[in-house]
Every structure is written in C-alpha cells, then in structure tokens.
Structure 1
Amino acid sequence: MSTTETDISVQYLFAPNASYNLLNLTTVKFLSAVFAGAIAGILGLENYAGFALFITSTLWSALCMHFVNCRGKPAKYVQGGWKDLVNPGQDNAFTFVLVWTLFYGIVHVYD
C-alpha cells in the first residue's frame, strides 16, 4: 500500500484550523459573488459580459487569497489546495445571478 504526496500532506492539516480556513474561504467567495453581481447589475451588463465579470472576480479573489492569506502555499492552509481556491461553488454562482438580476432590475427599470 503506497501513499501519495497529497495523502501525506493532508495528514498534517489540523482539522479545526482547516475548517476555520474553509469557513473564511466560503465567506470570501460569497462576498465576491455578491459584489460582482451588484457591479454587473449596476453597469447593466448582459449575457456573457456579466458571466465574464463573475469569472474574473472569482479568479481575482482566488489570486488574492493565494498570495496574501496562503502566502503562496494554498495546500498548507486549504485541504484541496489551489483547486478549492478557484472553485466558485454552485451556491455562489446562483448568488451572483440573483444579485445581478436584482441590481439590474432596480437600476435599469425604466431604460
């Protein structure tokens, strides 16, 4: 039975710290989706331009978390490593669309 490099690195994660980091990562992703949706709605972006803004904001927040919070080593702080930083999650995509349509409807109702 052989162990891989990732199995060994997962063994060194302290579970309470990993869950705390995951909770903070989820919060940052949620806020990023909310603010990106608000910006897309206020700017009046439609179709692919709005989703491009969502992808850009997700990548930007992942890069900031990678370099600032994880100090360039996300596998040390998050169990999934870089993959968990970039993955926006289904809930955050729906949050983005909800806030996007809300702000679009509020700002551009009489256009």
Structure 2
Amino acid sequence: MSTTTTTTAENAAQLRFPPNVQYNASRTYTVKFLSSCFAGAVAGVLGLQNWLGFALFVLATLLTSACLYVKCKARPAKYMAGGWWELVNPGQENIFSFVLVWTLFYGIVHVYD
C-alpha cells in the first residue's frame, strides 16, 4: 500500500511546473516576511514585552497562513512542494526579522518610559 501512495505522491510532484513552484515559494516568502515585520512593528508600538510579543508573532503567522490557505483554495500541495507545512512554517529569518523590527519600534516609541 505504501508503494501506491509513494507512486501517487511522485506523480503529483511531477505535475508541478518548477518555475511556477519557485515563483509561488518566492511570493509566499515575501508575504511571510512582510507579515512578520508588520507584527514586529505592532508589538514594538504597543510596548509588548517577553512572551506577549512572541504570542503576537505566532498569531500573525497563523493568520497569514490561514489567508494563504484560502488563497490556495484549500489545496496548498497543488501550488507548493511542502503543502500545508510550507504555509505554517514561519522560517528562521522571519523570526529574526520580527525581533529586529520589534526592538527597533519599541526603542523608538518607548525611549523615555
């Protein structure tokens, strides 16, 4: 039974056109990056500290993933190689971008608190 599942998965992977998959991955990365930077700016302006800021990041990541899931018409495996995991995975560089923007905006807004 696993050989038929593997064969079906391989056949489905062959149906994806590599330049389209690369374009979709690039656009997904850009949307996630902008979402994490915006969430970092919001966390900084609101003055969130510690776990509340990271909770906002998780919430923003899940909201972005849900929007991308709707955009993929509930079939993300059709448009990207990783499927739904590719949508939910925030990526290490996005976490660092979030922290960078968070501390920048926190420092700018709350410098004299």
Partner in structure 1 of residue 54 of structure 2 = 51
Q: Give 1:10 deviation, angstroms.
A: 1.2
Q: Give 1:11 deviation, angstroms.
A: 1.4
Partner in structure 2 of residue 100 of structure 1 = 102
* In structure 2, C-alpha distance between the alignment counterparts of 1:8 and 1:59, rounded to whole Å: 30
Say which SS state the counterpart of residue 74 (structure 2) adopts. Answer: coil
* In structure 1, C-alpha distance between the alignment counterparts of 2:57 and 2:35, rounded to whole Å: 9
List per-residue Cα deviations over 1:45-72 (Å, max 9, x = no partner).
00000000000000000000001x2011
**Fraction of identical pairs, as percent:** 59
Q: Give 1:43 deviation, angstroms.
A: 0.1
* In structure 1, C-alpha distance between the alignment counterparts of 2:9 and 2:52, rounded to whole Å: 37
Which residue of 12, 20, 25 maps to 2:15? 12
Matched, 1:42 2:45: yes
Q: Which amino acid counterpart does residue 63 of structure 1 have in structure 2?
A: A
Partner in structure 1 of residue 91 of structure 2 = 89
Say which SS state the counterpart of residue 92 (structure 1) adopts. Answer: helix
* In structure 1, C-alpha distance between the alignment counterparts of 2:112 and 2:85, rounded to whole Å: 42
* In structure 2, C-alpha distance between the alignment counterparts of 1:96 and 1:7, rounded to whole Å: 36
* In structure 2, C-alpha distance between the alignment counterparts of 1:88 and 1:7, rounded to whole Å: 26
List per-residue Cα deviations over 1:12-56 (Å, max 9, x = no partner).
111010000000000000000000000000000000000000000
Q: Which amino acid counterpart does residue 41 of structure 1 have in structure 2?
A: G
Number of residue-to-residue matches in the alignment: 110
